[in-house]
Amino acid sequence: MYINSTGFYIPTERVGNDHFLNLNGLTDEWILQRTGIRTRSKAGADEGHDSMGLNAIEDAIKHLPYAASDVDLVVSAAYAPYDTVATLAHVAQRKYNMVNAKAVYASAACSSFVNGLEIIEGYFAMGKATKALLVCSEHNTYYANETDKVCGHLWGDAAVAFFVSKERMSDNDYTIKTIYTHGLGHIGKGPQGVRLRPREDGIAMPDGRDVFMHACKYLTSSLHEVCAANDMKVEDLDYIICHQANMRIVANVAHQLKMDNSHFLNNIEELGNTGSASSALVFAQNTDKFQKGQHVALSVFGGGYSCGAFLVEI
């Protein structure tokens, strides 16, 4: 599998930590110390899940080596959609005249992007598709409860899009070496660790400590999985991108791997937790840093629970 182009969209508005003091009593110092977040991105009044996703696709099309209408599979991967019937996959199919495409929506909490990538891998393996669009847009602030002291201050909004092909399309393509996912609903607090119930309390994290503990463990083990599949060690990686849930989690992963911070790329300090878009978004934001032959691994953990990773050769 090959990544043909990437694109992203980040709203311009930033919400600072001081915003939450009168809402839930949390100070800037408290939030920064425990999460590493200074600001978070927020979609404007005229923006949303679909519009952010379409903007990310537009950004990716700028460098696409074929017509977007050639795509025969569209996967929208996210947990915070605007509509679960007419999904972003269907909206994108219509906008870009992808008349021969299948349109699929996939959700596995914050690991949704990697699960979406694995779905594409399956369609390619079955011979049912050759060119795919994977778009992930998370409008977290649409659902978040800012008065929630546990997680109301975490969430940011953003979208990312990858065009992926079964065969190499240009010399600029990146190679996806291995994709790994694993459902973990049987572990710890599992399905109750994080939830999104719009009619009740929005995005909630009743068991934050349990989420933290298992995220640290499985973000690390997922990296080992994709490296071992390629006869590599994690220390052979040029860059590591973890799900951007909390900088303390990233620091814990770095400590477990005995690797310094120079190997890790992050955006959580400015954008907050942008959900399942976060790790792929960091990748798309930093393509100018990558050099031919380098290896980049992205590792994710989702409430539910689930984990995953994929290894990219530049």
42-57 residue pLDDT tens: 999 999 999 999 999 9
**Which pLDDT value is given to residue 200?**
92
Question: How many domains would you assign to the chain?
Answer: 2
Phi, psi of 212 (to 5 degrees): -60, -50
pLDDT, residue 160, reads 98
One domain, residues 148 and 255: no
Place of tokens 């659902």: 143
254 with 134, same domain: the answer is no
User: Which of 165, 192, 220 is the C-terminal boundary of a domain?
Assistant: 165
Residue 216 sits in the same domain as residue 132: no
CATH number (domain holding residue 268) = 3.40.47.10
**Same domain as 250, residue 193:** yes
C-alpha to C-alpha distance for 249 and 214, rounded to whole angstroms: 10
Are the C-beta atoms of 310 and 280 separated by less than 8 Å? Answer: no
Same domain, 28 and 135: yes
Note whether 78 and 130 are same-domain residues: yes
| pLDDT on residue 14 | 98
Kindly indicate the confidence band of residue 116, based on its pLDDT and cuts at 50, 70 and 90.
very high
d(CA 1, CA 3): 7
Domain around 15 = 2-165
Query: Which pLDDT does position 273 carry in this prediction?
Result: 98
Distance CA 51, CA 56 (A): 9
Q: Which residue, 165, 200, 223, sits at the end of a domain? A: 165
Helix-strand-coil percent breakdown of the chain, rounded to 5?
A: 35, 25, 35
Asked if 39 and 267 touch (Cβ cutoff 8 Å), the reply is no
Mean pLDDT of 37-43: 98
The pLDDT of residue 8 is: 98
Query: Are 274 and 304 in a shared domain?
Result: yes
pLDDT band at 157 (very low <50, low <70, confident <90, very high): very high
What's the rounded mean pLDDT across residues 286-298? 98
* pLDDT recorded at residue 150: 93
Look at residue 132 in the predicted model and tell me its pLDDT.
Answer: 98
Report how far residue 229's alpha carbon sits from residue 235's, in angstroms, rounded to the nearest whole number.
14
Q: Based on the fold, state whether residues 6 and 101 are members of the same structural domain.
A: yes
Identify whether residues 8 and 101 lie together within a single domain: yes
Q: What are the pLDDT digits (tens) for 213-270?
A: 999 999 999 999 999 999 999 999 999 999 999 999 999 999 999 999 899 999 999 9
Same domain, 207 and 232: yes
Residue found by looking up tokens 């996806």 in the block: 176
Boundary residue ending a domain (165, 183, 202): 165
Instruction: Give residue 226's pLDDT.
Output: 98
Q: State whether 154 and 93 are in the same domain.
A: yes
* 203 neighbors 194 (Cβ within 8 angstroms): yes
Distance separating the N- and C-terminal Cα atoms of the chain: 12
- Confidence band for 10, pLDDT divided at 50, 70 and 90: very high
Q: Would you state the structure tokens that stand for residue 11, as one six-digit string?
A: 């709203």
Average pLDDT, stretch 189-198? 93
Same-domain pairing of 154 and 248: no
